[in-house]
Structure 1
Amino acid sequence: MTVESDKRITFPFKGLWEGMWLTLKTMVKPAPVTMYPQVQEIPVPRARGVISLDTEACTVCMLCARECPDWCIYIEGHKEEKPPSKPGGRPRQRNTLDRFDIDYSLCMYCG
Structure 2
Amino acid sequence: MEGTDGVETEIVGAELTEMVGGRDTEIAGGSETDIAGGPETEIDGGGSATEIVGGAETEISGGPETEMDGASETEIEGAELIEIAGASSTEIVGGAGTGAEGFSRDITTGLL
* TM-score relative to the length of structure 2: 0.19
In terms of Rg, which structure is larger? 1
Structure having greater relative contact order (Cα 8 Å, sep ≥ 6): 1
Greater share of residues in strand: 1
* TM-score relative to the length of structure 1: 0.19
